[in-house]
Copies of this chain bind each other. A is one copy, B any other.
Amino acid sequence: MDIKNDIDDICLKAKETSVSLALLKTGEKNKALLSAADSILSHKDEILEANAKDMKRAESTGMSSGLLDRLRLNEKRIEDMAAGIRKVAELPDPVGEIIESFERPNGLQISKKRVPMGVCGIIYEARPNVTADAFAICFKSGNACVLKGGSAAIDSNTAIALAIKEGLRESGIDPDALGMIENTDRESSLWLMKKKEYIDVLIPRGSASLIETVVNNSVIPVIETGTGNCHIFVDKSADLKKAVDIIVNAKTQRVGVCNACESLVIHRDILKEAVPLIYNALNEHGVEIFADDEARAVCPAMSPAGPEDWGREYLDYKISLKTVTDIEEAIKHINRYSTGHSESIITADEKNAERFLNEIDSSCVYVNASTRFTDGGEFGFGAEIGISTQKLHARGPMGLRELTSYKYIIRGKGQIRP
């Protein structure tokens, strides 16, 4: 049996299982999640052993220390993984909600009912914890999932998936609810992206290039996640102390994440006062600022920005800085270069705040707060499968509810269309 048959088989089984998953009661799903969490803990040794293989391979190929850290598992991280699954079990079940109901003049009773998507495909990179996270969120929202992780984490992912499947089996659930594709080559990914008859939605989690490959090749509907060139606009009326605190937080609290700030936009009228404060505060955290000539005239220690800097997602201790004449220019600049993720205005001017909220075309638009809050946990969703940067279906942090669809249920008494 070749690779393509393997993939087809996993997808078909997930599709078949999804029918019964959609009908599970909340209690049955929660019991299965707890059983999966227990099984991960009781297979700790096997998972650590598998992870050691991945780590050895990664070290021998010279993986960077940052990526090695993402790949590494230890007892604590495995316990966190199990705890994450238990937490999802505690969340409210979105499936079955009657979103609205109405009666038509002809007597037809129409209800719009929340239902699972069916099968969610997730393509991700070298973070083994995504295996447990993604499974739990898909499962609680009534979906089967087909996971394809990166080659670097394949041994860890396989071991985690095996443990989860055993937990499912023990609680009477078909283990095909979790499909794990063990072939990690590009050809397998491309094949998976064509399995429209089995997979209802495909979510890539990882680098910009992974996401681009999926968008360009998938015939399955895709939810684009995660690229964030997030802006903070410091308006003329901004409280500069607040502005500096927010900028430092949004840039440095965690640099490798999509909701970190990558671009500053500063009102010309406060340039002389604001830039030195911002420079000093960011410099203390080792952040390099790429600024336009006007801002550099105020603070020549900053690096010169090239035109390519406005569109960059550094994911590093780097940030761009652009001077603007007014809020209009700020909005235009941001809408041109942002990735539609998260943008914030720091202002004391209510009118400008409203204008920014209305005219910035991003999933999350802030007034006087850090962009780092764009996160399912911070929004109170309890769990998150990613941050959508597209407008179709879901925008911003995606929790359980965003992995559902709906159907119309229509009750009649013999009505025919005149």
What are 18 A-B residue pairs whose CB atoms fall within 8 Å in the complex?
A19-B361, A23-B359, A104-B379, A117-B391, A118-B361, A200-B391, A221-B392, A221-B393, A223-B392, A242-B414, A245-B416, A253-B417, A361-B407, A362-B407, A368-B415, A372-B416, A392-B405, A395-B407
Query: A249's contact among B365, B379, B405, B417, by CB below 8 Å, is which?
Result: B417
Q: Please, which residues of chain B bring their CB within 8 A of the CB of A363? A: 407-408
Within the oligomer, what is the number of copies of this chain? 2
Shortest Cβ distance from A413 into B: residue: B368
| A353 proximity list for chain B (CB < 8 A) | 411
Where the two chains meet, the residues of A that have a C-beta atom closer than 8 Å to any C-beta of B are 19, 22-23, 102, 104, 108, 110, 117-118, 196, 200-201, 215-216, 219, 221-223, 239, 242, 245-246, 248-250, 253, 335, 353, 357-359, 361-370, 372-374, 378-380, 390-393, 395-396, 405-417
Say whether B253 contacts A369, CB under 8 Å: no
Which residues of chain B are near A118, meaning CB under 8 Å? 361, 391
Contacts of A239 in B (CB 8 A): 414
CB distance from A111 to the nearest CB of B (A): 9
CA distance A216 to B220 in the complex (A): 9
| A104 neighbours in B (Cβ, 8 Å) | 378-380
CB pair A201–B414 under 8 Å, yes or no, is: no
Contact A246 to B357, CB < 8 A, known contacts A19-B335, A407-B365: no
Bound-complex Cα distance A367 to B373 (A)? 45
Q: A219 — which chain B residues lie within 8 A by C-beta?
A: 215-216
> Quick one: closest B residue to A202, CB to CB?
B392
Which of A23, A357, A374, A410 gathers most chain B CB within 10 Å?
Answer: A410
Chain B residues near A366 (CB-CB < 8 A): 410-412
Chain A interface mostly: mixed
Q: Which residues of B contact A373 (CB under 8 A)?
A: 108, 410, 415, 417
B221 engages A390 (CB within 8 Å): yes
Contact of A196 among B22, B215, B405 (CB under 8 A): B215
**A215 contacts which chain B residues (CB < 8 A)?**
196, 219
Chain B residues near A413 (CB, 8 Å)?
Answer: 368-369
Q: Distance (Å) between the CB of A349 and the closest chain B CB?
A: 14
Cβ-defined contact, A368 with B411, below 8 A: yes
Q: Which residues of B contact A364 (CB under 8 A)?
A: 407-408, 410
User: Which B residues lie within 8 Å of A223 (CB)?
Assistant: 392
Q: A361-B118, A392-B201 are in contact. Are A370 and B407 (CB under 8 A)?
A: no
CB-CB < 8 A to A410: which residues of B? Answer: 364-367, 369, 373
Question: With A and B bound together, what is the CA distance between A395 and B373 in angstroms?
Answer: 31
Provide the residues of chain B in CB contact with A253, threshold 8 Å: 416-417
